[in-house]
Structure 1
Amino acid sequence: MKARLLALFGLLVGSSAAWADALTGDVQRQPVNVSAITMFVAFVGATLCITYWASKRSKSTADYYSAGGRITGFQNGLAIAGDYMSAASFLGISALVFTSGYDGLIYSIGFLVGWPIILFLIAERLRNLGKYTFADVASYRLKQKEIRTLSACGSLVVVAFYLIAQMVGAGKLIELLFGLNYHVAVVLVGVLMVMYVLFGGMLATTWVQIIKAVLLLSGASFMAIMVLKYVDFDVSRLFSEAVAVHAKGEAIMSPGGLVKDPISAISLGLALMFGTAGLPHILMRFFTVSDAKEARKSVFYATGFIGYFYILTFIIGFGAILLVSTNPAFKDATGALIGGNNMAAVHLADAVGGSLFLGFISAVAFATILAVVAGLTLAGASAVSHDLYASVIKKGQANEKDELRVSKITVLFLGILAIVLGIAFEKQNVAFMVALAFSVAASCNFPVLILSMYWKNLTTRGAMIGGWLGLISAVVMMILGPTIWVSVLGHEKAIFPYEYPALFSMIIAFIGIAVFSKLDQSVSAGEERARFLPQFVRSQTGLGASGAVSH
């Protein structure tokens, strides 16, 4: 079924929100899980204590947006990994392995490759040139009003679609795992999200992500060890026994079973790799460390943690084939897995650790939501308060008190909006929102950011035209594509034939930026080109880096 295939693909797109569409539609509500709720309450209690502690240390805009730059490279790497080691990675990738075998590992590794390739190019210069948001860097030598408006719009589009996917997925996941009502779950996530960000800022958000990452790594490690123990730590035996019991047989050890169309595969890969480098809540994390050296450490540690986790999900997926697919206790009357294939990892937790460990894993799965939505909300609030209010409306003359007030008002607004949209989209398939968020990040945010760092001929006119073309083309092609035009709107045939637009919208963005920058021979364009060398020197040294200059 095409919709289900899309759901599996959607799980791969961005890890932190992509699982939402896997839980779209009616779910089989489970009985109230007392142990899971107890452990989750303990987690919430601990993180609220951290939020109170952080609120005492978040007095300035630097504290609120970037934790005062006091986070170490190791801590930041763990927090970044926490954004990616999410319910999508845990439930989604393991479900891909459970259903398709080797393909799950290929896609998880393909996603991981984007980190060292892209972020090593960006992390150091981003930290040296920026202050609170990536728009600080993009507007460094260009016109503030135009570039910050474009960057803020790109960020808000990404955050909005991400938040909708998160809230819908949160409600479905909690309804399924905890037995709580969908609306109660959405409101609970929204309220906690606002509390973390409103009072604790980046410091509280960072530590929530760190704690969640440690819990998830610990739980996944235990599951993987128990699976390996079951086969006497013989990996070849794990594979051979999985092949013997899987319906597809040896086909699960062969790649290429999910994506048949090379254009869609390339476009999806581009969205994953370059979209990652345009996600505002990820880019913000590089301002929480003290210098470029710590920023590089962040990428190193994050890549290590994420890579290790994906290896664990591969083992968990094959373990679920052995211990879950063959166990009638985890199946309904029709022989299908209770809750669907995306619950394979949760059922495996029950198989290897009993109801107590099942409660722990369920609580951790919920905790992943809170960490991610907190980061998204802070990114959206900073785009409004720092980029639009302080830099565009007030032209850099806003005081810290007013900027913080605007930021906190935005947090409240985003929290209410997230709850309303989460309830409004309860019955909708939100897979396209995740794909669209990554496509916009890859087609609007990333081209402007990377060219502002590395291309001396970039001008404001070129960045504006190319950036808007990338954003609009990504949205339009997604609407006209099979996902929305056919699956959502019900038309017979898609106008744009491919699932993902990133391959085309990125080309449009880069060509638009290059052509209109080269054609721009205005006086201001000459001044912008002349500022590239001082910007380059500062990007390498970090000397005097305190945000963007005023124009």
Structure 2
Amino acid sequence: MTINYLAQEASHVGNPMLNIAVFVIFIVITMTVVLRAGKSTKEASDFYTGGGSFSGTQNGLAIAGDYLSAASFLGIVGAIALAGYDGFLYSIGFFVAWLVALLLVAEPLRNVGRFTMADVLSFRLKQKPVRVAAAFGTLFVSLFYLIAQMAGAGSLVSVLLDIHSEVAQAVVVALVGVLMIIYVLVGGMKGTTYVQMIKAVLLVTGVAVMTVWVFFAVRGGMTTMFNHAVESHANSQYLAQKGYEATEILKPGLKYGGSTTSRVDFISLALTLVLGTAGLPHVLMRFYTVPTAREARKSVTWAIVLIGAFYLMTLILGFGAAALVGPDRILAAPGGANAAAPLLALELGGSIFMALISAVAFATVLAVVAGLAITASASVAHDIYDGVLRNGQSSEEEQVRVSRITVVVIGVLSIILGILAMKQNVAFLVSLAFAIAASANLPTIIFSLYWKRFNTTGAVASMYTGLLSALILIALSPAVSGSPSSMIPSVDFSLFPLSSPGIVSIPLAFLAGILGAYFGKPDNMDDLQAEMEVRSLTGVGVEAPVDH
């Protein structure tokens, strides 16, 4: 069976009017949910954490909805379709990372904190410097994650409407940003959580249907599908131009082989993905939407089941896209690699099925960006405005007002940067957010929870070292300049050879935390340290806020 498509066939992307109609239906449904939930959003706890009123099962669905972003669906399927074995690293990394979050972070974090990650980091340390540093980490992680979602939304809608103009794609990204701002301003965490629950069920169901359908389409099992994928790559100008053998889609090295630098980049990416989840503020904040630590554990269990099943199915969808769509057709479509999943849906079920799958993916983008925006706004309002500027004396109405202003500002920034990043694979863009989370947040979280000697100097040194080193290395990497797929392709200041900075920035952050703890002055807060240890391990006194 020979599967060979001409690149120009990529322009046939179904019925644009049908696609728009399905999109509008999804937006109306989710907006209705948000409006209903928004009526009960009155206090700061409602806006930030939904009042802690969700069950473990509900929160598990919402965590899956938060985590299974446009990067997971669009980016990973595209990465596997084009890079095969190397692309599957994203699936493995994103999934294995949950074990770190479950074993080290989930329950202690829920027991110690109230609203944000900074509640935990500042529990037994000096409030103001730690909260400011944690807020900066949260803002940059959220911003990079938002950039990926915006880029994914631009790619998705561009494929559906056959938009090749960069100006038109930029308009699409702007519209997604506006919708995101409306979702958050109206519904807060309650509305966002319900949308994420709905989206998680729809996305996992849609991916499961596509997975089964792929085997019917290739008329065989895994071996048949792999053979078709190899054959499709053998007929591809994409691989021929790069000098790769067709069978390398099943071997390591198609993307991260060929040089020592690319192999080190592979290791750096793997380290970033595995350690990043436990430092993602918008995922960690989800643990505060449940009433008890037991429900937090239950929610993580549900999330792992859904997330694990999803990432296993992305392997089938990625190789299925390689076999049935082909790399040339994917790269010729608007959005490039991010178009693989929608084009596979079109190939399997025609225009209607593509419209449905793409609408679910679009709902995915909206739900994730809404959750990210809430996390960023909570960090500014709760940690900086209330905790630092107002010394904990601001009213809840003032905090919510500051949160909403922050949502608008962060939304505008993400629109601008998302437009600049439209040519990047969204899974790769999310990996940059993971690098910042693993560098700026994770070392301090681990030290705060498990090291008695850790102090404010160590926390501040670790967070700023991790954040600044990650940001500087990303800015000087090929992801930003020096190649046709860079954010700024017209110039070259890529002094750092790796696209993923984690292999350098994560160890630097741990080292800075250790040196700061040994050379900085002790905080002399032994009572709070003992209380934090008891609370994190047992949950005793969870509801009592700490002021110091």
CA spacing shift, 1:105–1:492, aligned 2, 3 Å = closer
Contact 1:110–1:269 under 8 Å retained in 2: yes
Per the alignment, residue 364 of structure 1 pairs with 360
> Given residue 352 of structure 2, which amino acid in structure 1 is its aligned partner?
L
2:509 maps to which residue?
Answer: 509
Query: What is residue 268 of structure 1 aligned with on the other side?
Result: 269
1:307 deviates by 1.4
What is aligned with 2:378?
A: 382
**Is the Cα–Cα contact under 8 Å of residues 458 and 529 in structure 1 kept in the other structure?**
no
Residue number in structure 2 paired with 1:150: 133
Partner in structure 2 of residue 176 of structure 1 = 159
Rounded to whole Å, the distance in 2 between the matches of 1:31 and 1:226 is 18
**In structure 1, what residue type is equivalent to 2:381?**
S
Aligned match for 1:212, one of 183, 199, 203: 199
Q: Go from structure 1 to structure 2 and tell me whether the alpha carbon gap of 1:521 and 1:359 turns closer, same or farther (over 3 Å shift).
A: closer
Q: Which amino acid aligns with 2:511?
A: I
Distance in structure 2 (CA, Å) of the matches to 1:217 and 1:427: 25
Residue from 239, 246, 259 that aligns with 2:226: 239
Shift of residue 230, structure 1, vs aligned partner: 3.6
> Are 1:70 and 2:53 an aligned pair?
yes
CA RMSD of aligned residues (A): 2.7
Aligned pairs for 1:379-458 (under 5 A) are 379-423=375-419, 425=420, 434-458=430-454
Q: Secondary structure at the residue paired with 1:514?
A: helix
Any idea what SS the aligned residue of 1:484 has? coil
**Is the Cα–Cα contact under 8 Å of residues 447 and 510 in structure 1 kept in the other structure?**
yes
**Matched letter for residue 99 of structure 1:** L
What percentage of aligned pairs have identical amino acids? 46
Deviation string 1:421-458 (CA, Å, 9 cap, x unpaired) is 445x3777697864543222111111111211111111
Structure 2 residue 542 is the aligned partner of structure 1 residue 545: yes
Matched, 1:518 2:518: yes
Please give the per-residue CA displacement for 1:500-544, whole angstroms capped at 9, x wherever unaligned: 22122121211111122122344xx2x234532211101122222
Which 5+ residue runs of structure 1 have no aligned equivalent?
1-26
- In 2, the alpha carbon distance for the partners of 1:439 and 1:541 equals 31
Report the more deviating stretch, 440-449 or 512-521.
Answer: 512-521
- Aligned residue number for residue 14 of structure 1: none
Q: What amino acid is aligned across from residue 409 of structure 2 in structure 1?
A: F
With over 3 angstroms needed to count, the CA separation of the structure-2 counterparts of 1:288 and 1:218, relative to structure 1, is: same
Listed one character per residue, the Cα deviations across residues 302-328 of structure 1 (whole Å, up to 9, x for unaligned) are 1211111122221122322333239xx
Q: The residue matched to 2:365 in structure 1 has which SS?
A: helix
Q: Does 1:291 align with 2:278?
A: no
Deviates more, 1:508-517 or 1:170-179: 170-179
CA displacement at 1:419 relative to structure 2: 3.6
Q: Judge conservation of contact 1:112–1:306 (CA < 8 Å) in 2.
A: yes
Pairwise CA distance, 1:286: 0.8
Q: Which residue of 2 aligns with 1:37?
A: 20
Give, in whole Å, the separation in 2 of the partners of 1:429 and 1:221: 26
Distance verdict in 2 for CA 1:162–1:245, change over 3 Å = closer
CA contact (8 A) 1:130 1:546 kept: no
1:102 and 1:253 in contact (8 A); partners too: yes
Name the CA distance, whole Å, in 1 between partners of 2:371 and 2:206.
23
Q: Which moved further from structure 2: 192-201 or 451-460?
A: 192-201
Cross-structure match for 1:460: 456
3-state DSSP of counterpart to 1:447: helix
Comparing 164-173 with 144-153, greater Cα deviation is found at 164-173
Please identify, of 338-347 and 510-519, the stretch whose mean Cα deviation from structure 2 is larger.
Answer: 338-347
Contact 2:335/2:422 (CA < 8 Å) preserved in 1? no
Aligned residues: 516
Question: What is the match of residue 70 of structure 2?
Answer: 87
Whether the 8 Å CA contact 1:116–1:299 is kept in 2: the answer is no
Q: TM-score, normalised by structure 2?
A: 0.87
1:207-265 alpha-carbon deviations (Å, 9 max, x no partner) = 11111122211211111111223455633333344444441544333234322334322
Deviation at 1:63, TM superposition (A): 1.2
Give TM-score scaled by structure 1 length: 0.86
Cα distance change of structure 1 residues 489 and 517 upon mapping to structure 2, 3 Å threshold: farther
* Corresponding residue number in structure 2 for 1:351: 347
Q: CA deviation at 1:119?
A: 3.1
For 2:389 and 2:378, locate their aligned partners in 1 and report how far apart those are by CA, in whole Å.
14
Give the conservation status (yes or no) of the 8 Å contact 1:459–1:528: no
Name the SS for the 2:106 alignment partner.
Answer: helix
Change (3 A) 1:378 1:348: same
Residue 280 and residue 492 in structure 1: after superposition, are their counterparts in 2 closer, same or farther (change >3 A)?
closer
Compute the displacement of 1:33 (Å): 1.2
Q: Which residue of structure 2 aligns with residue 486 of structure 1? A: 482
CA deviations over 1:31-88 (Å, ceiling 9, x no partner): 8612221111111111111111111221111111111111122222222222332332
Correspondence for 1:229: 216
CA distance in structure 2 between the aligned counterparts of 1:441 and 1:128, rounded to whole angstroms: 21
1:92 to partner: Cα distance: 2.3
